[in-house]
Every structure is written in C-alpha cells, then in structure tokens.
Amino acid sequence: MSMMKQKKTVQKKTLKARHTLSSGTNSHNERLKQDRPSIVFPALTSTKPKRRLHSTRNSSSSLHLLQEAVLTKCSSGSQEEDELAGSFNPGWMDKIHHCPVYHPSMDEFDDPFVYLQKIAPEASKYGICKVVSPLISSIPAGVVLMKEKKGFKFTTQVQPLRLAKWDNDDKISFHFRGRNYTLRNFESMANQEAARKYCVSGCLPSAYLEREFWNQMEKGKRGTVEYAINVDGSAFSRSSGDPLSGSKWNLKELPRLHWCTLRLLENAIPGVTDPMLYIGMLFSMFAWHVEDHYLYSINYHHCGAPKTWYGVPSNAALQFENVVQHCVYDRLLSVDGEDGAFNVLAEKTTMFPPKILLQHGVPVYKAVQMPGEFVITFPRAYHAGFSHGMLLFVHGRTYRDV
C-alpha cells in the first residue's frame, strides 16, 4: 500500500507541475500576442504605366499571396496599431506617375555633365529622374567603410513618425540627437524594428510600404525612427580597380571635374564640394525642400532597401510654396506671418502627403530608387521621400548650369 500511495503522490505532483507549466506558457503566449503588431492591407489598384515611366508596382495576385503569408505569422497587435488601421484612403497614391528612368550606354555614361545636359530638357519637366548606372562597384560600400575608414561610427537623429498641426504648439523637429552606432549595430537595430512591425526584416512591396508610411504618418502619435544624415564620407572605394569609383560619376571626384564650377571654390564645403553619407531605416524620411542655392543634386544608392522619392518640377515651385503657405502653415500665418512659415520650411522638417499638392493641381512625380541607381534632382525642384528599410546612400551636388 505504501508503494501505491507514493506512486499516486508522484502522479499528482507531476500533473500539478504540468498544469503550472501549461498556464505559464499560455500567459506567455498571450503576452506575445499583445506585443505583435497588427497588419492591415489597404486595397490596391493597378494602373497601366505610360511609356518611359518606370513602374515598381507588384501584381495584385503576388501582393495578395504575400499579405496572406505575413498575416498567418502575425496576430493582432496593440490598440494604437489597430487605430492606425482605421479609415485610410490610399487612392491618391496611384495618381502619382513615376519620373523618367534613363539607361545610358557605356559611352553616354562616360561624362556626367554631357549626359545630364542631354537629358535635362525632358527630365527637368518632372523635377527628378533616375539614371541606372551601367557600372557597378566591385567593392561593396560596407566593406569600404569598414576597411578604409577604421572605427567608422556615426550619430543618428530621431524623427517623429507623425504629421504636425503646424502651429506654435505643434511643430516637428528633427534635431533630437539619437545614438552612436557602428554600421553593423545600426543594421541590427533597423532590422529588429522592421521585424517588430511586420514579423520579417526583408523588404515588402514598395506600393504596400508607401501606404503604410502615410497611414502611420497621418494617424501616428508616439512612434519615432532614426536617421543618420550628413555623415562624412562617400563609401566610394579608393581602389583603382573599382569600375564605378574609377568613373567620373564617383561623387567624391565630380565637383572637381573640368565642367563643374564648384571646383573654383577655394575652401571645401561639406555637402557641396564634398558628398555626404545618409544611413536610414524603415520609414526614416527627408522632408520637403530644395537644394541650397538651387543646385542640382546627384544621389547614389549604394546598398540596402529601396527609397521612395517625390518631386515637384521647378515650374511649379511657386504653386508648391503657395499651397504650403495656405494649406499646411495656415495656423502659423496668424502668429508669425509669411516669414515665420517659410523659415520653418527652410529648416527641412516639413513633411506632408503629396495628396495635398494633387488636390490643388500641383504636379508631383515619384521614383523608387534601388541600389545601383542615381536620382537627379533639378534646380528649384522640391522633393521629399522615405526609406523602405536599412539603406546607405551618398548625396552630392553640382553647379546649377550643367
């Protein structure tokens, strides 16, 4: 009998332990469900691309399959994220046509100034354009930074992931200092943040991320992202065997070419005579602005996720400024007047959806820049955009009269 009692006692303890373990697992799973973000997929419509306009939209069937796959992995999220999924109409995004995309031959690519002069009459009508390089770097940008710039580190800026009311009580600032990173640490952080939102760190379709970005910007409250801007360097290799770095499109050498008037400047000016690096994560953004002194800008995407650009041609710059003045900064005008409003615009912190421009007849075009591509912005062409994930690109300028 004593043996039987001992056996029953052991069975009871085992069952009790199993029940305790199961309860703990269930509560842990509930906490995981609460931490996971919800994903809402807006309805997507397809449009037939025009001639010479480059479309990066994926087919609706492919998007549908991808959405189902992600949804099977992600359960419902927080209350705030559920609120973000409320009424949001993305239809205006399909009304923005893509800017021209150019594929120069090796001969055409030889001289950037001659080539820009050739395409400018057409491309400037869009404010921005893409140039797909026929050359690729033989040394990846990450390797360049890790080996040619020993101890490479940078500091980010924190950007609020929301739109401002633009009055004296609610203005957006990108001047909050972030953290110091190595390139690997930043990539790890950026991938973790992307995976937290969408359960995967890989890139989602550009059309979907465009909707997600503006949805979060319009309805977000407390979210932030980090962006490293104006980082010294270019990530172009010093190796003579690198085809792209050895070309005249190397943005370190471009301002010193014979056709570039910037070579006449006696002193170096960061961002003008010397290019600067930008390192972004999912939804890090650059606000609406024009280049200083109405210069051209040339931007090369080294590696990472795509980047969406919006551009307004220079012949619509006055229209753009008028819309910003009366439809975005209307609350500021009553306090600080026109000067106060445009002082804020000059700070390069003003972000608003292009739908406001479309509603007032201002032409807007977009580009989805991939690694290995240049984006050119033309003089007095307002532009803005955001990142689809971790990326590294270099920004340079050239004199306005190419």
pLDDT in tens, the chain (402 residues): 444 444 444 444 444 444 443 444 444 444 434 443 333 333 333 333 333 434 344 444 444 454 444 444 444 444 444 444 445 788 999 999 999 999 999 999 999 989 999 999 999 999 999 999 999 999 999 999 988 788 899 999 999 999 988 876 777 777 689 999 999 999 999 999 999 999 988 889 999 999 999 999 998 888 999 999 999 989 999 888 899 999 999 888 876 676 776 666 677 767 666 789 999 999 999 999 999 888 889 999 999 999 999 999 999 999 999 999 889 887 766 656 667 677 788 888 899 999 999 999 999 999 999 999 999 999 999 999 999 999 999 988 665 454
Parent domain of 189: 97-398
Q: Is residue 90 part of a domain?
A: no
Q: Is residue 37 part of a domain?
A: no
What is the number of structural domains in the chain? 1
Q: Is residue 231 part of a domain?
A: yes
Q: Is residue 29 part of a domain?
A: no
| pTM, 2 dp | 0.77
Q: Is residue 303 part of a domain?
A: yes
Q: Is residue 67 part of a domain?
A: no
Q: Is residue 235 part of a domain?
A: yes
- What is the 3-state secondary structure of the chain? CHHHHHHHHHHHHHHHHHHHHHHHHHHHHHHHHHHCCCCCCCCCCCCCCCCCECCCCCCHHHHHHHHHHHHHHCCCCCHHHHHHCCCCCCHHHHHCEECEEECCCCCHHHCHHHHHHHHHHHHHHHCEEEEECCCCCCCCHHHHHHHHCCCCCEEEEEEECCCCCCECCECCCCCEEEEEECHHHHHHHHHHHHHHHHCCCCCCCHHHHHHHHHHHHHHCCCCEEEEEEEEECCCCCCCCCCCCCCCCCCCCCHHHCCCCHHHHCCCCCECCCECEEEEECCCCEEEEECCHHHCEEEEEEEEECCEEEEEECHHHHHHHHHHHHHHHCHHHHHHHHHHHHHHHHHCCCCCCCCHHHHHCCCCCEEEEECCCEEEEECCCCEEEEEECCCEEEEEEEECCCC
CATH number reported for the structural domain that contains residue 126 in this entry? 2.60.120.650
Q: Is residue 277 part of a domain?
A: yes
